[in-house]
Amino acid sequence: MNLQEQIAKRRTFGIISHPDAGKTTLTEKLLLFGGAIKTAGAVKSNKIDTHAKSDWMEIEKQRGISVATSVMGFEYKDIKINLLDTPGHQDFAEDTYRTLTAVDSVIMVIDCVKGVEIQTEKLMEVCRMRNTPVICFINKLDREGQDPYDLLDEVEEKLNIKVRPLSWPISMGKTFKGVYNLYEKSLTLFQASRRQVLDEQIQIKDLNDPKLDQLVGKSYADQLREDVELIEGVYPDFDVNDYLEGKVAPVFFGSAVNNFGVRELLDTFIRIAPKPKSRQTEEREVKPEEDKFSGFVFKIHANMDPKHRNRIAFIRVCSGTFERNKPYLHVRNNKPIRFSNATAFMAQDKEILDEAFPGDIVGLYDTGNLKIGDTLTEGEQGTFKGIPSFSPEIFKEVINKDAMKTKQLEKGLNQLMEEGVAQLFTFEVGSRKVVGTVGVLQFEVIQFRLKAEYNASCEFSPMNFYKACWIASKDKKQLDEFVRSKYRHIARDKDGKLVFMAESKAWLQMVQDNYPEIEFHFTSEF
Ligand code: G4P
């Protein structure tokens, strides 16, 4: 198979949802269809057990388990599907944001009872930054949920994306009958089954066919006729290009736990989801079909065992063919680097991999050379863009507890930040170091790991910041002037970029009004 065929065969995507909407369950059903697992219950949820919600050691252990399921590769109808897992715990939201930079599309799971929830809104914002195509799966139709029209309106409103239903439910909850596929014009009847794969589809080309009344009963059949008429009237025809440009999200209804509606989703997914897309470096657009290999690191998972201090760096292949043992250029260090134990992840298994193609994810064992955002190439300079840092929500100052171990503390902090555990901001005045995170758990993680791995001790002192804003201006003089006048609130991020530390929303607004020439960004790339 040549490179072109390998690319055409691949689909790399992530499933996102608010915790509990059914991401793990849907993942498992997709793997069952792909034959990657044999029985339900085989996929370990990366969700953190309720009793462990604030016990980060327990969480790390569970995260350790979920490394194996970070990437799940499987084949379905000759398509190689790479499903990237995203952490369920909201304290690890940064991990999810970064994972989304390595996918070409997304399936979003929404609970029909709860509707669009806050985590989904945040994740959708990240998708919108890159116009990632989204398919929506409205789950748990076996429960009494919200009215499907209301759900669609809510998605459009809260997620700021147009929707186009491609299937439609016939009732819900106890009286749930099934879904009508508007695209294929076929009916799938609901039968609760947690384990088997049900896929009986009944062709109903004409909704006036009396067979429909026999199958679901006259009143439900009439309701469906009305609904379909309304949908066809209200929503424009589905245009796959609108989906590919991230403008319209096709919507499916189903029940993941009952394996219902999942096959329709998967069949449509492989038909319409984008194959590996081009990626932008600082200099140019890199196309997947280019001969020469290139890729970037989007995730690093550290080994918590101090006896084995290696980490796994996850690379997304962007172009050409990745080959094991071949030296590649590590662009940031401008040095060659070679990997003898590149790993591919296939559902629950991992195996040594000899070559990988655009869209594939390769796990590389690393002793500390790689960091998030690093680019590997066959010699070309230029770093891939699109792996921004997002403004954290909680800030604490690092207080060194052992002056004899200052070097260790610095080294440890830097390495942990490179893994993406948290973000470090160093104030221009007094070099005070402030760690910013999305969740509180990271502070415990950092403290423990600094002690265990670097023999450094620190404490955290809370700081009252609202946001870290990356600042820029077309007018260098104005920027210099701003930095001078706000010097007590100016820090640098890990890459030395200027950051304004805003204490409150109102104050930030005031500063923004007073300095119209200064741009304030909530992500590090703009
Ligand atoms: P997550 O990864 O998005 O956090 O969600 P997960 O798949 O773990 O699902 C959360 C809960 O919702 C699970 O119940 C799961 O069984 C249930 N669920 C998933 N899909 C459906 C569905 O279509 N209908 C209904 N009624 N429930 C669904 P749990 O009680 O937490 O676990 P379990 O004991 O049932 O496995």
| DSSP percent split of the chain into helix, strand, coil, nearest 5 | 30, 30, 40
For residue 450, tell me if it sits in a domain: yes
| pLDDT at residue number 399 | 94
**Are residues 350 and 497 part of one domain?**
no
Which residue's CA is minimally distant from atom 15 of ligand 1? 22
**Number of residues assigned to the chain:** 526
- The secondary structure element, H or E, covering residue 218 is helix 218-234
What pLDDT is recorded for position 73? 86
Please state the atom number of ligand 1 nearest to the C-alpha of residue 88. Answer: 4
Amino acid at 281: T
Position 383 in a domain: no
Kindly state whether residue 384 falls inside one of the protein's structural domains: no
CA of 21, closest atom in ligand 1: 3
Q: Based on the fold, state whether residues 338 and 446 are members of the same structural domain.
A: no
Residue whose C-alpha is closest to residue 194's, from 139, 140, 257: 257
Residues with CB under 6 A from ligand 1: 17, 19-25, 45, 47, 88, 139-140, 142-143, 255-258
338/329 Cα distance (integer angstroms):
9
Name the closest-CA residue to atom 6, ligand 1: 22
Shared domain check, 319 and 249: no
Q: Does one domain contain both 373 and 406?
A: no
Q: How far does the centroid of ligand 1 lie from the alpha carbon of residue 61, in Å?
A: 22
Q: What is the pLDDT of residue 304?
A: 53
Q: Tens digits of per-residue pLDDT, 157-212?
A: 998 899 999 999 998 888 888 888 888 888 888 876 555 555 566 777 788 888 88
Please give the distance, rounded to the nearest whole angstrom, from the Cα atom of residue 152 to the centre of ligand 1.
22
Residue nearest to atom 24 of ligand 1 (CA): 140
Dump pLDDT digits (tens) for 364-394. 988 888 988 999 999 999 889 877 788 888 9
pLDDT single digits (tens) 431-478: 899 999 887 878 888 888 898 888 999 999 999 999 999 999 999 999
Residue-level pLDDT at 96: 81
Q: What is the pLDDT of residues 21-60, one digit of tens each?
A: 988 889 888 888 877 666 655 555 555 454 445 455 665 5
**Ligand 1 center to residue 256 CA distance, Å?**
8
498 falls within a domain? yes
> Which of 240, 272, 304 finishes a domain?
272
Report CA(156)–ligand 1 centroid distance (Å).
25
At residue 498, the pLDDT reads 96
User: Alpha-carbon distance 371 to 313, whole Å?
Assistant: 8
**In CATH, what number is assigned to the domain containing residue 417?**
3.30.70.3280
Which amino acid residue places its CA nearest to atom 4 of ligand 1? 20
- Among the candidates 243, 272, 301, a domain finishes at 272
- Domain assignment of residue 86, given as a range: 3-272
Q: Could you read off the pLDDT of 321-339 as tens digits, one per residue?
A: 999 999 999 999 999 999 8
Sign, CA dihedral 121-123-124-128, equals positive
User: Is the pTM higher than 0.75?
Assistant: yes
> 411 and 311 in one domain?
no
Higher pLDDT, residue 73 or 273: 273
Residue 151, pLDDT above cutoff 90: yes
Name the residue among 24, 23, 21, 67 with its Cα closest to residue 43: 24
**How close is the Cα of 134 to the center of ligand 1, in Å?**
22
Find all residues with CB under 8 Å of 31, minimum gap 6, and list them.
Answer: 37, 42, 43, 72, 74, 83, 347
Q: Angle formed by the axes of helices 118-129 and 148-159, to 10°? A: 50
Q: Whose CA is nearest to atom 35 of ligand 1?
A: 257
Dihedrals phi, psi of 18, to nearest 5 degrees: -75, 145
Q: Is residue 33 part of a domain?
A: yes
Q: Whose CA is nearest to atom 17 of ligand 1?
A: 22
The Å distance, Cα 20 to ligand 1 centre, comes to: 6
Q: Which residue, of 237, 272, 307, is where some domain finishes? A: 272
Q: Percentage of the chain with pLDDT > 70?
A: 88
Do 119 and 201 reside in the same domain of the chain?
yes
Query: Do residues 27 and 137 both lie within one domain?
Result: yes
Greatest Cα pair distance in the chain: 84
Residue 416 lies in a domain: yes
* Nearest CA residue ID for atom 22, ligand 1: 140
| Nearest protein Cα to ligand 1, atom 30 | 20
pLDDT in tens, 215-240: 888 889 899 999 999 999 999 999 99
Residue 48 pLDDT = 46
Give residue 72 CA to ligand 1 midpoint distance, Å.
20
Specify the CATH number for the domain of residue 58: 3.40.50.300
For residues 172 and 300, membership in a common domain is answered with: no
Task: Say if 385 falls within a structural domain.
Answer: no
pLDDT on residue 50 = 47
Same domain, 293 and 411: no
Residue 233 lies in a domain: yes
pLDDT band of residue 308 (cuts 50, 70, 90) is low
- Chain segment 95-138, per-residue pLDDT in tens: 788 889 999 999 999 999 999 888 788 888 888 888 999 999 99
- Residues 336 and 367 placed together within one structural domain of the fold: yes
**Domain count for the chain:** 3
Nearest to 420, CA basis, from 126, 100, 93: 93
**Whether residue 453 sits in one domain with residue 473:** yes
Computed over every residue of the chain, the mean pLDDT equals: 86
Q: Determine the distance separating the centroid of ligand 1 and the alpha carbon of 139, expressed in angstroms.
A: 10
- Please check whether residues 138 and 197 belong to one and the same domain: yes
CA distances from 358 to 82, 291, 324, 361 (A): 11, 11, 15, 8
d(CA 360, ligand 1 centre) in Å: 29
3-class DSSP assignment, residue 465: coil
The pLDDT, as a whole number, for residue 198 is 53
Choice from 83, 257, 259, 262 to test ligand 1 binding pocket (greatest atom count within 8 A of CB): 257
Give DSSP secondary structure letters for 288-352: TTSSS-EEEEEEEEE---TTS--EEEEEEEEES-EETT--EEETTTTEEE--S--EEEETTEEEE
Q: Which of 452, 97, 424, 493 is nearest to 444 (CA)?
A: 452
Distance from the alpha carbon of residue 179 to the mean position of ligand 1, in angstroms: 20
